[in-house]
Every structure is written in C-alpha cells, then in structure tokens.
Amino acid sequence: MIEIIQEYWRNYLYSDGYRLTGVVITLWLLVVSIGLGFCLSIPLAVARVSKKKWLASLVWLYTYVFRGTPLYVQLLLCYTGLYSLEVIRNHELTNAFFRDGMHCTLLAFTLNTCAYTTEIFAGAIKATPYGEIEAARAYGMSSFTLYRRVILPSALRRALPYYSNEVILMLHATTVAFTATVPDILKIARDVNSATYQSFNAFGLAALLYLFISFALVWLFRRAERRWLAYLRPQGK
C-alpha cells in the first residue's frame, strides 16, 4: 500500500509546476460545475414553469435532451465532437476553448447538472403552497418581488434534500473526466494501476477517497437541512 501511495504522489504532478492532487481536481470539477449549474438553473426553472408555452417548451427541450443522453456521450461531443467542426477550429476563441480537456469537461458537467437541477427547482416551485402566493399578492408584491422574496426562498429550501442527491451523483459522474485526459482521482488511479499492476490497491484507494468526499457532502447537507428545514419538523407538545 505504501508503494501505491508513493506512486499516487508521483502521478499527482500537474503542468506548469503546480502540484494539484487528483482530489483537488475532482473537487474543482464538482464545485465549479455545481456552482455554475446552480446559478443557471434558477432562471431556467422560473422559465420552465412560465405560462409562456414557447419559453417553457424551450427549457423542457434542453432538460429532456441532457437528461435523456448519457453524460459520457455529452463529454465526448464537447471534447471531440465539436472540435471536429471546421467552424469551431477556425475561430481563435472557440479553437482554444475546445482544445482544452478541462474546459470541455466543465462545459459538459455544467450543462448536465443544470438540466437536472432545473427540473428539481421547477418541481419545487410548482409545489409552493398557493396560500403563500395569494398572501404575497394581497400584500402588493410584483411578480419579480414575489419570486425573490417568497417563491424562490421557499422552493430552494424544500428542494434541498433532492438537490443533495444531485450533488452526490455529480461527484460520482466526475469519474468520466479521465476521457478528456483530466487528472482526477480515477485518472490517477488508472495511471497508478498501469505503473504497479496492483489494481485492487489502486482502485480501492480511489474508492475510499470518493467515499470520504461523499460522506463529507452528506454531512454538510444534513446540517443545512436541519438549519433551513427546521420549520418542517414536528414540534413537541
């Protein structure tokens, strides 16, 4: 096992003289994709429940496509598929962007998790008690203020348990990042396995790292639920 750990450290050397571990790369992929996906999903969720059918249909089409196709295929399309198009290669900015495996991976992960998160938040918005909406309208709130102060805060709180599942699933989904030569935990484990031929130790250590991160995320979300969903717990007499 000591040999495996030493081989891990030798393979953790990243470009430009920076020493970034596979754990850091994995967490970076998770945090950035989840953060961007969260920010994009809120306006998309509002559009998803909009009374404007054309707007809701466009968002539905986006979520349907990205939830209906494997993330692995989406990553391949971003990493190799789009770059094979001449219009992408001929433009300086798009050429530089899609040549980088990290950029393509973040793009695929963000679009994928955004699709799932949009549907989670849209469902929570639809489940908002009608009495809260009527009370806000009676108070004279505009539609924007209604969403900002009543609907979205309430919906995001109630969606927290479902959103925590999406974050955990996204952590597991980062294992496909090795396809774009991104040195995440699994990529390092594959390199160590190729160097030592000790598959059980190499992938076993990777599994322990994923398990530890998952437990940490579950603990954080449970604390968040106890704080923000306390009003839903039965009160003692």
- Could you tell me the pLDDT band of residue 231, with boundaries at 50, 70 and 90? low
- Could you tell me the pLDDT band of residue 13, with boundaries at 50, 70 and 90? very low
> Which residues have C-beta within 8 Å of that of residue 45, sequence separation ≥ 6?
117, 118, 119, 120, 121, 122, 125, 155
3-state secondary structure of 209: helix
Residues 177, 29 contacting (CB under 8 angstroms)? yes
> Which residues have C-beta within 8 Å of that of residue 41, sequence separation ≥ 6?
114, 117, 118, 120, 121
How far from each other are the two terminal CA atoms of the chain, in whole angstroms?
A: 55
3-state secondary structure of 13: strand
Residues 201, 4 contacting (CB under 8 angstroms)? yes
Q: In angstroms, rounded to a whole number, what is the distance separating the alpha carbons of residues 85 and 69?
A: 21
Q: In angstroms, rounded to a whole number, what is the distance separating the alpha carbons of residues 229 and 154?
A: 10
Which H or E run includes 119? helix 101-126
11 forms beta bridges with none
Q: In angstroms, rounded to a whole number, what is the distance separating the alpha carbons of residues 125 and 156?
A: 8
Closest Cα to residue 163, out of 56, 42, 69?
A: 42
Given a cut of 90, is residue 57 above it in pLDDT? yes
* Domain 23-184 is found in CATH 1.20.120.1200: no
Q: What is the pLDDT of residues 146-174, one digit of tens each?
A: 898 889 998 999 999 999 999 999 999 99
Report residue 67 as tokens. Answer: 């939830």
Q: In angstroms, rounded to a whole number, what is the distance separating the alpha carbons of residues 143 and 134?
A: 12
Measured in whole angstroms, the distance separating CA 164 from the mean position of its chain's CA atoms is: 10
- Could you tell me the pLDDT band of residue 4, with boundaries at 50, 70 and 90? low
pTM: 0.87
Q: What is the largest CA-CA distance in the chain?
A: 70
How far are the Cα atoms of 133, 154, 193, 213, 216 from residue 129, in angstroms, in the given order? 7, 9, 54, 35, 33
- Could you tell me the pLDDT band of residue 12, with boundaries at 50, 70 and 90? very low
How many residues belong to the chain?
A: 237
Q: In angstroms, rounded to a whole number, what is the distance separating the alpha carbons of residues 118 and 41?
A: 5
